[in-house]
Every structure is written in C-alpha cells, then in structure tokens.
Chain A
Amino acid sequence: GAVVSQHPSRVICKSGTSVKIECRSLDFQATTMFWYRQFPKKSLMLMATSNEGSKATYEQGVEKDKFLINHASLTLSTLTVTSAHPEDSSFYICSARGNSSPLHFGNGTRLTVT
C-alpha cells in the first residue's frame, strides 16, 4: 500500500539553529501534504497544508516565517523549523494521500531543542 517516509525520526539541535524535516510519498504522487504537530497528551494539530508548486496554507496561530514549508515535487514536502527554540520541541508528523486512499502518515520526527 501507499507509504509515506519521514526523515529524520529524531533530531536534537541547539537553540537558534534551523532543522529541516523531509516527507516523501514513496509509491504515489501527492499534490497535497499535511503537516501536524503533536503536543504531549494532546491531539494532532494541523499546522499547514502543503501544496505542490504553490505556497503552503497555514493554520491560524502558526508562524509561516518560522515553519517554512516547501513542496518541491509531487513526492516531497519539507518543513524547516527556523531559529528553533526549546518551545518548538515536539513531535512533527507529515501526511499525504493518493487519489483514493486514506490519509497515510509518516512515522514522525521527534525534535528536541536544547
């Protein structure tokens, strides 16, 4: 079935640096990918909708200059957390859907900012 690959699975970075997370759809093309963030003991919160070839659509309260999304091709979307701070530490998950399949998720990226 459809598979979504997310990399890296874990990353530790220093405050002030930037981190890039990649999300790939492995056997289908995804014109739209979604980026979620999960806070401890809370639901998955949609951050932004990544559209291939155009600008991402951000949810209210999500800083677009801090969380840069690039959907360079039909199989790749990247999320860059710029100038990371400890409060950005979280579990970030991407998802994508083929034409008729349910939404599939990557395995997530655990970001820790020290």
Chain B
Amino acid sequence: DQQVKQNSPSLSVQEGRISILNCDYTNSMFDYFLWYKKYPAEGPTFLISISSIKDKNEDGRFTVFLNKSAKHLSLHIVPSQPGDSAVYFCAATAGGNTPLVFGKGTRLSVIA
C-alpha cells in the first residue's frame, strides 16, 4: 500500500512558466513533508519542506503548499528553468527519527 503517491510520472513545462508537481498521502500520522530533486546517478538533494502546522512555505522560486484535509501537497516552481529538469520526489515522515517514505517521483522536463 503506497502511503505517498505521485500520480504523474512525468511533466513537461515551457521555460518561464509555472511547474506544479502534486503529491498525495494516506497516513494521517505524517507531520513533516519534503521535496527532493534528483539527477541521474546522483543522490536526492533536499529542496524544500513543510511542517503540518503550516499550509505554505516559500523559498525563492519554490513554494510548497499543504492541504491537510485533502492529504495533498504540491510543489510550485516559478519561473521554471531548464536546469530544473530532474526527477522530483515527495517524501513524508511521522516525525522524530522515523525514516522518510517516498513517492515514486515525477520527472520534470523544462523546455527552452
């Protein structure tokens, strides 16, 4: 049973436009959510996170929105740049030192 779901395996966006990556979760114990970016043959790189006490967190071009009632979060990248092309993983944890649970990732392609 997948606790973290990224239903879009891929997304293609034009440079300068907004990229919206979606993530749904089922475990109501999750209280901290993260987005990681991954290039081929490299480990994931932390991008941005949000605690369950917030509904929005912004860092430069990246904004994460959390809708707890819908158990849904999204990552907005604006404006999108070709260098943003990568696989983006949504992850969640129930806090403390519990491990992260990852979605399957969404491959973002930003076209110049």
Contact = CB atoms under 8 A, between A and B. Distances in A.
A73 B94 CA distance: 26
Given A49-B99, A102-B49, A103-B34, A93 B104 contact: no
Contacts of B36: 105
Interface residues of A, number: 25
A32 interface: yes
Interface string B9-44: 100000000000000000000000010100001111
B38 to A, nearest CB: 9
A21 B104 CA distance: 24
B97 interface: yes
Given A43-B89, A44-B102, A105-B36, A32 B44 contact: no
B111 interface: no
Interface of A: 4, 6, 9, 31-32, 34, 36, 41-44, 46, 49, 91, 93, 95, 97, 102-108, 110
21 contacts: A9-B41, A31-B97, A32-B97, A34-B100, A43-B89, A43-B104, A44-B44, A44-B102, A46-B100, A46-B101, A93-B43, A97-B97, A102-B46, A102-B49, A103-B34, A103-B100, A104-B46, A105-B44, A107-B43, A108-B43, A110-B41
Given A43-B102, A102-B34, A102-B49, 18 more contacts: A4-B43, A6-B43, A31-B97, A41-B104, A43-B89, A43-B103, A43-B104, A44-B89, A49-B99, A93-B43, A95-B43, A97-B97, A102-B46, A103-B100, A104-B46, A106-B43, A107-B42, A108-B41
Shortest beta-carbon contacts, A-B, top 5: A105-B43, A43-B104, A107-B43, A108-B43, A44-B102
